[in-house]
Amino acid sequence: MEKFNNRKQLSFKKPVLGFAAYSGTGKTTLLVKLLPLMKLQGLRVAVIKQTHHDFEIDKPGKDSFKLRQAGAGQILIASEKRSALITEYEKIIEPELTGLVNQLDLDNIDLVLVEGFKHLPYAKIELHRKGAEKELLFPHDSSVVAVASDGNINAGELPVLNINMPEEVAGFINRWLNQYDNVA
C-alpha cells in the first residue's frame, strides 16, 4: 500500500472532513445518523459522496432528463425549495475533491463531510469493522485524524471512537471543528 505521509494535505476554503472505509463498512449509515446531530448543534453541513458507479438523479420522461439526453452538457434544476446541477462529462474523468468542494455554496455551510476519496491526503475518520478483515488505512495515511470501529484497535496516538455511537463521533467532529477554526 502506498505511503501517504509525505504527500501534501489538500487545502480547502471550508473545513472538510472525510469518512474513509472499504465498501460495506457503514459510511452512509453513520452519516445518516450524524447529520441530524450536527443540525441540532446549528451546523450547516454539506455532503459529497463519491461513487464508482454510473448513476442517475434524473427520471426518464422528466424535462431535465429529456434536455440532458438531447445534448445539454449541464442542467441546473431549481425550485423554491432546492436546486441541482447535473454535469455530463464528454470523457470519463476522475472527479477532483477540491473542484467538487468549490462547486458548493461555501457561504452557506460550516462543514463539508465527504464519503469516499479515501486515498487523498485530507483530514478523515477511518471507519473499520472488526469482521471486515480489511487492512487498516491509518498506518499508511497520516491524514487520518481518528478511527471509528466496533472493536478494540490500537491506533497509537489517534482517538478511537465507537462506530455504533454517532453521538461520540459527533462530539469528536465538534472538537475537530473547533480546533480547525482556531488554527484557520
| Cell digits of residue 83 | 436546486
pLDDT for the residue numbered 94: 82
Question: What is each CA distance from 135 to 18, 105, 131, 132, in whole angstroms?
Answer: 18, 36, 11, 9
pTM as predicted: 0.86
Question: What is each CA distance from 105 to 10, 55, 65, 130, 154, in whole angstroms?
Answer: 19, 23, 24, 37, 39
pLDDT digits (tens, 9 = 90+) for 46-86: 999 987 666 667 778 888 888 888 888 888 888 898 888 88
Q: Buried (b) or exposed (e) across 64-100, using 16+ Cβ within 10 A?
A: bbeebeeeeeebeeeeeeeeeebeeeeeeeeeebeeb
pLDDT for the residue numbered 78: 85
List the beta bridge partners of residue 76.
Answer: 85
Domains and CATH numbers, the chain: 16-50+95-183 (3.40.50.300), 55-90 (no CATH)
pLDDT for the residue numbered 182: 64
Q: 26: pLDDT confidence band, cut at 50, 70 and 90? A: very high
Run of H or E including 148: strand 144-149
CA–CA distance, 4 with 146 (Å, rounded to integer)? 16
- pLDDT of 169 above 60: yes
pLDDT for the residue numbered 85: 84
Q: Do residues 147 and 126 touch, judged by C-beta distance below 8 A?
A: yes
Q: 7: pLDDT confidence band, cut at 50, 70 and 90? A: low
CA–CA distance, 18 with 49 (Å, rounded to integer)? 10
CA–CA distance, 35 with 57 (Å, rounded to integer)? 21
In a 3-state reduction of DSSP, which class is residue 78? strand
Once rounded to an integer, what is the mean pLDDT over residues 22-42?
94
Amino acid at 46: A
- pLDDT of 133 above 90: no
Percentage of the chain exceeding pLDDT 70: 91
pLDDT digits (tens, 9 = 90+) for 104-129: 999 999 999 999 899 999 999 999 99
The residue that leads in pLDDT, 143 or 55, is 143
- pLDDT of 142 above 90: yes
